[in-house]
């Protein structure tokens, strides 16, 4: 199942970028209290994992007594189930409650963009490790995963008086962002290995928008520009990065980067060495 064609009979959670809960054509995000939605998000992001009521109560209501927190959890579960039922969705198709334990089962009628993003990339990374050269299908999968990443995890979503949830969300946000950077790096290397340098340049540019201080990518982009006969762009890339580094950190580029700049400055023609041998 893909983000572009989610089945209409399942619950859909978009968490990369602006958070949205959808069932069919119904937007349910605003039908839930913030902590009810947070509870569903936490469970749906970790399918098959069982959580105790005590754990979930502490996650969202750590600033009140345990008895009050467990009461709040019961109320939140009841309200969450009722909202789903009123939308025409059977909550038992998504939530499993086994006494003191609560989980989203592996066969739940629930699609989450985060899980699809991770699963697609896991398959891609395994494929890249097992093959000598990347395939068009693998590149297509990476691009699909990148399309799913419409923004940072739970961007703009916060839960009042729930520091434990916010800590978890922050950790996940950073982890998924690093996974995004790894995916872009893999895409760049795949394009270079296939000799698709224009595509590699575009992927480098996208990565630098997300993480503008990655010096190795600036260096690679300089080489790509140089090798494809775009010497002025290669020189401009160095100067842009140097200005950024000075403004942000007050330091100079690495000697390796400076040496590359001077090589490009002194040579009108592109290097004989291919970029693929330098990655």
Task: Answer yes or no: are the C-beta atoms of 264 and 228 closer than 8 Å.
Answer: no
Q: Whose CA is closest to 225, among 207, 237, 209?
A: 237
> Which are the contacts of 67, defined by CB distance < 8 A and separation ≥ 6?
none
Q: Where is 99: in which H helix or E strand?
A: none
From residue 209, give the alpha-carbon distance in Å to each of 51, 107, 237.
38, 37, 13
State the sign of the Cα–Cα–Cα–Cα dihedral 145, 148, 153, 159: negative
- Work out the end-to-end distance of the chain between its first and last CA atoms, rounded to an integer number of angstroms: 34
pLDDT in tens, 13-51: 999 999 999 999 999 999 999 999 999 999 999 988 999
pLDDT in tens, 51-94: 999 999 999 999 999 999 999 999 999 999 999 999 999 999 99
Beta strand pairing call for 11-14 and 51-52: unpaired
> Which are the contacts of 194, defined by CB distance < 8 A and separation ≥ 6?
133, 134
pLDDT in tens, 251-264: 999 999 999 999 99
Domain ranges of the chain: 11-113, 196-279
- Name residue, tokens 């390796």: 256
Gap between the Cα atoms of 211 and 205, Å rounded:
10
Helix 53-60 with 66-86: angle, nearest 10 deg: 90
Q: Which residues pair with 27 in a beta bridge?
A: 22
Q: Which numeric CATH code is attached to 196-279? A: 1.25.40.10
- Reported confidence tier of residue 1, pLDDT bands at 50, 70, 90: very low
pLDDT in tens, 215-225: 999 999 999 99
Task: Answer yes or no: are the C-beta atoms of 3 and 147 closer than 8 Å.
Answer: yes
Please report, rounded to a whole number, the percentage of residues in the chain having pLDDT higher than 70.
91
Gap between the Cα atoms of 252 and 56, Å rounded:
48
What is the architecture, at CATH level 2, of domain 11-113?
Answer: Orthogonal Bundle (1.10)
Gap between the Cα atoms of 150 and 82, Å rounded:
30
From residue 208, give the alpha-carbon distance in Å to each of 117, 184, 205, 219, 259.
21, 10, 5, 11, 21
Mean pLDDT of the chain: 91
pLDDT at 21: 97
pLDDT in tens, 125-162: 887 776 656 788 889 999 999 999 999 999 999 999 99
């Amino acid at each position: 199942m893909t983000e572009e064609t989610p089945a209409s009979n399942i619950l859909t959670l978009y968490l990369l970028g602006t958070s949205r809960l959808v069932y069919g054509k119904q937007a349910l995000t605003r039908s839930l209290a913030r902590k009810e939605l947070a509870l569903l998000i936490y469970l749906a992001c970790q399918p098959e994992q069982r959580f105790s009521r005590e754990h979930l109560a502490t996650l969202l209501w750590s600033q009140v007594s345990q008895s009050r927190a467990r009461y709040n959890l019961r109320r939140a579960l009841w309200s969450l189930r009722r909202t789903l039922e009123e939308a025409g969705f059977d909550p038992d198709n998504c939530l499993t409650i086994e006494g003191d334990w609560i989980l989203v089962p592996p066969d739940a009628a629930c699609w989450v963009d985060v899980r699809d993003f991770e699963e697609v990339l896991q398959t891609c990374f395994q494929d890249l490790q097992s093959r000598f050269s990347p395939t068009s299908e693998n590149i297509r999968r990476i691009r699909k995963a990148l399309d799913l990443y419409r923004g940072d995890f739970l961007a703009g979503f916060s839960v009042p008086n729930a520091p434990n949830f916010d800590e978890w969300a922050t950790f996940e946000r950073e982890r998924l962002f690093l996974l995004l950077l790894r995916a872009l790096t893999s895409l760049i290397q795949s394009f270079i290995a296939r000799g698709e340098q224009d595509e590699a340049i575009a992927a480098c540019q996208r990565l630098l928008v997300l993480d503008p201080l990655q010096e190795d990518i600036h260096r690679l982009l300089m080489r790509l520009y140089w090798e494809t006969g775009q010497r002025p762009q290669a020189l401009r890339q160095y100067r842009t990065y140097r200005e950024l580094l000075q403004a942000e950190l007050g330091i100079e580029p690495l000697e390796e980067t400076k040496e590359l700049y001077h090589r490009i400055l002194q040579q009108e023609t592109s290097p004989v060495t291919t970029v693929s041998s330098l990655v």
